[in-house]
Amino acid sequence: MKAAIQIQLLSQAEKLCQQRHARMTPQRLEVLRLMIKQNNAISAYELLDLLRKSEPQAKPPTIYRALDFLMEQGFIHRVESTNSFMLCHDFTDPSHTSAFFICDRCGHVTEKTAENIRNILQKMAAKASFTMSYNVVETHGVCPQCR
Ligand SMILES: [Zn+2]
Ligand SMILES: [Zn+2]
């Protein structure tokens, strides 16, 4: 990702937090900056190592609190099957449902909006009298670069 786009994403996140009266601390912003720079899914421990370059005192709870905040704001997503986190492709809609396509060779993760999948699952849940809180759609395979 180009530097100008990285800066633009950061200021967009800051602006959205102001509008929502959510507290974007310098530390949370730094974690988001690291994730934007990464441009792929990353584990919490890899992020902690990166954060320690600027904040040597940072501990695992520091990272997890920052990640929780960024997930709540819809800036990042958790990729459950690889236990990692990635930047969202659309900051402006914090409640969208995503499908993740995970390359098993290079680890690259692509996000696609998947409202239609959510609708299907919701119908299935309703038929089973099941109350759905959230769902995960993750697909493993090989990306175009690795094929
Ligand atoms: Zn997203
Ligand atoms: Zn790949």
Instruction: Tell how far CA 31 is from the center of its chain.
Output: 12
Residue 67 CA to residue 47 CA, distance in Å, equals 10
Residue 19, judged by CB atoms within 10 A of its CB (0-12, 13-18, 19+), counts as exposed
- Residue 2 binned pLDDT confidence (cut-offs 50, 70, 90): confident
Residues marked as binding for Zn(2+)?
103, 106, 143, 146
> Is 103 a residue whose pLDDT tops 80?
yes
Q: Which residues surround ligand 1, an ion (CB under 5 A)?
A: 88, 98
- Residue 129 binned pLDDT confidence (cut-offs 50, 70, 90): very high
> Is 39 a residue whose pLDDT tops 80?
no
**Distance from the alpha carbon of residue 19 to the mean position of ligand 2, in angstroms:** 37
CB contact at 8 A, 83 and 124 = no
> Is 108 a residue whose pLDDT tops 90?
yes
Which ligand gives the minimal distance to the CA of 141?
2
Give the pair of three-digit tokens for residue 65. Answer: 């609190």
Give strand ranges (E) for 81-136: 84-87, 98-103, 109-113
Residues marked as binding?
103, 106, 143, 146
Residue written as token pair 């709870």: 61
Which ligand gives the minimal distance to the CA of 93?
1
3-class state of residue 15 by DSSP: helix
Structural domains in the chain, CATH included, are 3-79 (1.10.10.10), 98-141 (3.30.1490.190)
> Is 77 a residue whose pLDDT tops 80?
yes
